[in-house]
């Protein structure tokens, strides 16, 4: 079997409490793009971390070019020609591109680091593979798409011919993703074999030669894009039939609930992250905010939810001027917030579920009784919500942090949706969740909309924004560059807007 670049056989890995990989076998042919598809927690990354030597398998074998190998650490993997681009880039922001690339494989001239030789070799590689890069640039200043190129060159610099890409498109615009796919094809033509980890069905169908689906640490099937479609892949991933599109009727917009005028917000590094944003959200409609992460969405939401102060502008919520109002006042008027980072802002990990369910209503009856808490009422309420929102937990006294990501998010959603609310701000509400939980949360958002709640949905997932929203505003560098009707918007149009190309330019 000379055409097999990498093969793993019967790999098993046990983490405390989880069987992350259960006798997983797969092979990668030379020059092939092999997609590893599965939900979060299916064991894709764990498997590849073992191939790259970051973890060691409990049992099983790994073969490279037909020979059995023992990979103890990344050095072994690198020496075998295996390179990995991690989901969270392994780049040092304060280093130059060249420094990041050579780190660990430096060339020296005397006692000194030979920066010239390194830069020359990087320019060579970048020309050879069509990966534009400036070796002298400071890595932290580069957009994520370019940082990813740095990661790929880093692997090629070490003569990698097996490349593992872990969720490489999660941080890219659709155009950047297309660019990456072009690069991937280019690489395979030059003999590089690629393992492409993803949970995005469309991408896998576009780019992969073969697809292996993992679920719960096991291989549940192997197929090719020709033999499958989104539906069959989704069912394999989840293990049951799923509805991929969000079913919803037409919106019936009512009065303006949230009105934002010329809002300006600074980020933590003192840059103006939101640079004069105005929009309205009406009762009974979903306004989606699309954009690549880091274009001011986070700061916008923080300002609207009272987590940070704005520099200028006016925010009106249900007729009240709430510019820079504290969160308590916003909540009392009727704001619900599903935050982007649920661990930091959405829940208190060490609190039991019951207490997490009343985090913003604990001071009202029946939960508060004078200066004491009414634990019976809290327990009853939490039990009701857990049942209603299908939070899978042994008890309402389980610590919030011990729930799975999907169940934590359901807990947050349960708390926020179970009050009389007028405005819902949901920021990346399904990030990191499995298909089943995503389906559930989307349904609840639409239900809230239909009950007359105004919804502001912020998401970096274009599919999510397109399927849930009624109108879509695109943010680019702190400004809303366009607002379009979700019915007529196309991925290409939104992708261009997300990259800062306004409609007139795109048409021209």
* Residues in 150-189 at the binding interface with another protein, rule: CB under 8 A: 154, 173, 175-176, 179
Angle between helices 405-417 and 435-450 (to 10 degrees): 10
Residue 406 has phi, psi (to 5 degrees) of -65, -40
Work out whether 130 is an interface residue with another protein (CB under 8 A).
no
Among the listed residues 219, 238, 201, 224, the one whose alpha carbon sits nearest the alpha carbon of residue 39: 238
Record the tokens describing residue 314, joined without a space.
């006016």
Helix, strand or coil, per DSSP, at residue 16: coil
Work out whether 90 is an interface residue with another protein (CB under 8 A).
yes
* Residues in 26-65 at the binding interface with another protein, rule: CB under 8 A: 52, 54
Work out whether 404 is an interface residue with another protein (CB under 8 A).
no
Work out whether 136 is an interface residue with another protein (CB under 8 A).
no
Q: Determine contact, residues 417/377, Cβ cutoff 8 Å.
A: no
DSSP 96: B
Residue from 2, 17, 67, 94 binding another protein (CB under 8 A)? 94
Residue from 15, 66, 87, 103 binding another protein (CB under 8 A)? 103
Mark the segment that binds another protein (CB under 8 A) among 60-68, 74-82, 218-226, 232-240.
74-82
Work out whether 95 is an interface residue with another protein (CB under 8 A).
yes
Record the tokens describing residue 56, joined without a space.
């060691």
Q: Which is nearer to another protein, 93 or 239 (CB)?
A: 93
Work out whether 344 is an interface residue with another protein (CB under 8 A).
no
* Residues in 481-500 at the binding interface with another protein, rule: CB under 8 A: 496, 499-500
Rounded Cα distance, 191 and 311, in Å: 54
Q: Determine contact, residues 428/171, Cβ cutoff 8 Å.
A: no
Rounded Cα distance, 128 and 148, in Å: 17
Task: Provide the β-strand partners of residue 27.
Answer: 7
Angle at 387 between CA 382 and CA 393, to 5 degrees: 75
* Residues in 288-327 at the binding interface with another protein, rule: CB under 8 A: 294
Alpha carbon distances (Å) from 163 to 33, 63, 67, 251? 9, 15, 18, 46
CB of 71 to another protein, least distance (A): 12
Strands 372-373 and 218-223: unpaired
Work out whether 4 is an interface residue with another protein (CB under 8 A).
no
Exposed e or buried b per residue across 340-357, where buried means at least 16 C-beta atoms within 10 angstroms of its C-beta: bebeebbbeeebbbbbbb
Exposed e or buried b per residue across 79-104, where buried means at least 16 C-beta atoms within 10 angstroms of its C-beta: ebbbbbbbeebebeeeebbbbbbbee
Rounded Cα distance, 425 and 446, in Å: 13
Work out whether 106 is an interface residue with another protein (CB under 8 A).
yes
Work out whether 68 is an interface residue with another protein (CB under 8 A).
no
Binding to another protein by CB under 8 A, coded x per residue (else -) over 269-288, reads x-x-----------------
CB of 88 to another protein, least distance (A): 8
Q: Which is nearer to another protein, 164 or 458 (CB)?
A: 164
Q: Which is nearer to another protein, 112 or 227 (CB)?
A: 112
Record the tokens describing residue 247, joined without a space.
């079913």
Work out whether 112 is an interface residue with another protein (CB under 8 A).
yes
Work out whether 104 is an interface residue with another protein (CB under 8 A).
yes
Mark the segment that binds another protein (CB under 8 A) among 137-145, 208-216, 389-397, 421-429.
137-145
Q: Which is nearer to another protein, 112 or 344 (CB)?
A: 112
Mark the segment that binds another protein (CB under 8 A) among 81-89, 198-206, 274-282, 356-364.
81-89
CB of 19 to another protein, least distance (A): 21
Rounded Cα distance, 215 and 212, in Å: 10
Cis peptide before 366 (omega within 30 of 0): yes
List interacting residues with another protein (CB under 8 A).
Answer: 52, 54, 73-75, 78, 84, 86, 89-95, 99-100, 102-106, 108, 111-113, 132, 138, 140-143, 145-146, 154, 173, 175-176, 179, 269, 271, 294, 496, 499-501
């Amino acid at each position: 079997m000379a055409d097999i670049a990498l093969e793993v056989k019967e790999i098993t890995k046990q983490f405390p409490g989880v069987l992350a990989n259960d006798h997983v076998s797969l092979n990668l042919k030379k020059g092939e793009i092999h997609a590893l598809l599965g939900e979060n927690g299916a064991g894709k990354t764990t498997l590849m971390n073992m191939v790259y030597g970051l973890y060691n398998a409990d049992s099983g074998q790994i073969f490279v070019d037909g020979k059995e190998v023992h990979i103890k650490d990344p050095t072994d993997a690198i020496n075998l020609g295996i390179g990995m681009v991690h989901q969270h880039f392994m780049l040092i922001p304060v280093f130059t591109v060249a420094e990041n690339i050579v780190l660990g494989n430096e060339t020296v001239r005397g006692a000194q680091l030979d920066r010239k030789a390194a830069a020359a070799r990087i320019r060579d590689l970048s020309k050879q593979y069509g990966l534009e890069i400036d070796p002298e640039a400071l890595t932290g200043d580069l957009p994520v798409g370019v940082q990813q190129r740095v990661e790929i060159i880093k692997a090629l610099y070490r003569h990698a011919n097996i490349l593992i890409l872990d969720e490489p498109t999660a941080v890219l615009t659709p155009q950047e993703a297309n660019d990456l796919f072009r690069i991937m094809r280019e690489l395979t033509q030059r003999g590089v074999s690629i393992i492409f980890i993803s949970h995005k069905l469309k991408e896998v169908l576009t780019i992969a030669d073969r697809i292996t689906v993992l679920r719960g640490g096991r291989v549940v099937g192997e197929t090719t894009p020709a033999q499958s479609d989104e539906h069959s892949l989704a069912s394999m991933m989840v293990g049951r039939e799923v509805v991929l599109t969000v079913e919803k009727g037409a919106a019936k917009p009512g009065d303006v609930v949230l009105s934002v005028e010329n809002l300006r917000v600074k980020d933590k590094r003192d840059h103006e992250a939101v640079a004069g944003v105005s929009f309205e959200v009406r009762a009974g409609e979903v306004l989606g905010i699309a954009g690549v992460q880091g274009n001011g969405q986070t700061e916008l939401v923080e300002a609207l939810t009272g987590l940070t102060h704005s520099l200028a502008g006016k925010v009106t919520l249900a007729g009240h001027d709430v510019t820079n109002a504290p969160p308590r006042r916003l909540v009392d008027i009727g704001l619900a917030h599903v935050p982007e980072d649920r661990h930091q802002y959405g829940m208190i990990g060490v609190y039991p579920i019951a207490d997490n369910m009343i985090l913003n209503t604990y001071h009202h009856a029946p939960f508060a009784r004078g200066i004491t808490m009414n634990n019976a009422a809290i327990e009853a309420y939490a039990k009701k919500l857990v049942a209603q929102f299908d939070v899978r937990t042994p008890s309402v006294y389980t610590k919030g942090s011990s729930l799975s990501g999907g169940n934590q998010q359901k807990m947050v959603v349960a708390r926020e949706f179970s009050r009389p609310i007028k405005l819902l701000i949901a920021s990346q509400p399904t990030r990191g969740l499995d298909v089943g939980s995503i389906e559930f949360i989307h349904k609840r958002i639409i239900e809230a909309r239909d009950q007359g709640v105004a919804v502001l949905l912020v998401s970096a997932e274009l599919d999510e924004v397109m399927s849930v929203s009624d109108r879509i505003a695109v943010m680019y560098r702190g400004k809303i560059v366009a607002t379009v009707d979700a019915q007529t918007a196309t991925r290409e149009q939104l992708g261009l807007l997300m990259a800062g190309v306004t409609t007139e330019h795109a048409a021209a």
